[in-house]
Amino acid sequence: MKLSTYKLKGMTLTELLIVMAILGILLLLAFPVIQPIFSKTHALEAKTNLKHLAELQKVYYLEYTKYSDQFQEVGFEQAQLVSEESGTAHYQIEIVQASRENFIARATSITDFDGDGTFNIWEIDKSGIPKEVEQD
């Protein structure tokens, strides 16, 4: 039996390394452009949770003519934080102040998204409009 020799066409290791180096450089150039998009996405999590809490507070106010400082009373449930096992939430939600006239709820980031040591903070009151208190 005669073995035939076939030569498969493909890339050499050097060519593959060059392609990977070029891709790495392109990713490094694109990262500063993409990073603000990630921050906006995480801020959307904070705003959505705060708006939901504000709606629950409005319903509670209609029933009891006051705002509550307890999640259980208004029916809000904090999602598990990323620091906990199988958690997905990047913001810790809390009711800072509640009275007959108003409430203030705060979403504080537990993740430093851009690595500068500053954590993102959002607040909402009875107006229902989230406001960014501290930028990350």
pLDDT reading at 45 higher than 70: yes
| Cα separations in angstroms, 115 against 24, 43, 52, 77, 84 | 21, 16, 28, 28, 20
pLDDT reading at 12 higher than 60: yes
pLDDT reading at 11 higher than 70: yes
∠ Cα 83 46 106 (to 5°): 90
Please give the average per-residue pLDDT across 18-32, as a whole number: 91
Q: Where are the domains of the chain?
A: 38-134
Global pTM value: 0.73
* Tokens read off for 5: 């020799």
Please give the average per-residue pLDDT across 69-81, as a whole number: 94
Q: Which long-range contacts (CB under 8 A, 24 or more apart) does 121-125 make?
A: 122/43, 122/46, 122/47, 122/50, 122/91, 123/50, 123/96, 124/50, 124/51, 124/53, 124/54, 125/54
